[in-house]
Amino acid sequence: MIDLHCHLLPGIDDGPRSMEQSVAMARAFVDAGTDTVIVTPHVSWDYPHVTAQLIGETVEQLRAELDEAGVPLRVLPGAEVALSRVGDLPEEELQALTLGDGDWLLVEPPFSPGLAGIEAVIDNLLLGGHRLLLAHPERSPALAKNPERLRPYVDAGMVCQVTAGSLTGAFGRDVQRAGRRMVQDELAHVLSSDAHDTVRRPPGLAEAAATLHDPELADWLTNGVPGAIAGGGPIPPRPEREAPRRGGLLTRLRGRGR
């Protein structure tokens, strides 16, 4: 599986504090069935020191440590850019913060009840030609209450990432319902861990994927779309839903008796 959203770099944001903790997290990723991650430290007003250059340098350090430790995890650079910070960043920096080898930008909505000014930022990014992956909209109160607000942006080419812990109930029932609804209503395209450590916010996608009871959809969310985003290829079509059987159980039983 491919995880497009995690906080694995040491000492940069609210992820692991040391290289040793990062290596332990990387082992946990591998043990959970993940072979590729894009590291996405926060680029926000809380972490003004985080730049594309710092991310790139730290990724190289982590890769060297993982090679020495024999941890077979592929690590690619990226970032989680707060929508409130976008206007402060030059275009060259935004381009340098895209995910992996592609041109997608992971952007974070606010956790406030409203979206004042944020929708205009998304509009401007899309009009400017940016390809956007929206992080965990199910955890944004304004979007969780009304997921259909995402529809125009999805129709315009934006894709959305639901967090694994949201589907398993780690963030409460309201977030869980919102996340499941977004998947059901075809407003979610990527499943990521948003891992920060090995205990409180651990790596792993399999448990959340299993809650979908649809292996093809789970693979699309954890491999198909993430692989396309990481590599810069076209987004594959969503698997078609199996057509429901006509008639209820009683109807089918009666049919057998004829």
DSSP-assigned beta bridge partners for residue 170: none
Tokens of 239: 């698997």
- Give the per-residue pLDDT at 244: 47
Domain ranges of the chain: 2-256
Q: How many whole angstroms separate alpha carbon 87 and alpha carbon 117?
A: 11
pLDDT, tens digit only, all 258 positions of the chain: 999 999 999 999 999 999 999 999 999 999 999 999 999 999 999 999 999 999 999 999 999 999 999 999 999 999 999 999 999 999 999 999 999 999 999 999 988 887 778 899 999 999 999 999 999 999 999 999 999 999 999 999 999 999 999 999 999 999 999 999 999 999 999 999 999 999 999 999 999 999 999 999 999 999 999 999 999 999 999 998 765 444 444 444 444 443
| E-only strand ranges, 8-117 | 36-39, 42-43, 74-77, 80-82, 104-108
> Under a CB-based contact definition with an 8 Å cutoff, are residues 6 and 193 in contact?
yes
Specify the CATH number of the domain 2-256. Answer: 3.20.20.140
What φ, ψ does residue 103 adopt, rounded to 5°?
A: -120, 25
What distances in angstroms separate CA 105 from CA 72, 101, 200, 248, one per listed residue? 26, 11, 26, 46
pLDDT tens-digit series, residues 28-55: 999 999 999 999 999 999 999 999 999 9
Q: How many whole angstroms separate alpha carbon 133 and alpha carbon 161?
A: 7
- Give the per-residue pLDDT at 241: 78
- Give the per-residue pLDDT at 34: 98
41-50 as b/e: b if 16+ CB within 10 A: bbbbeebeeb
Q: What is the pTM of this model?
A: 0.92
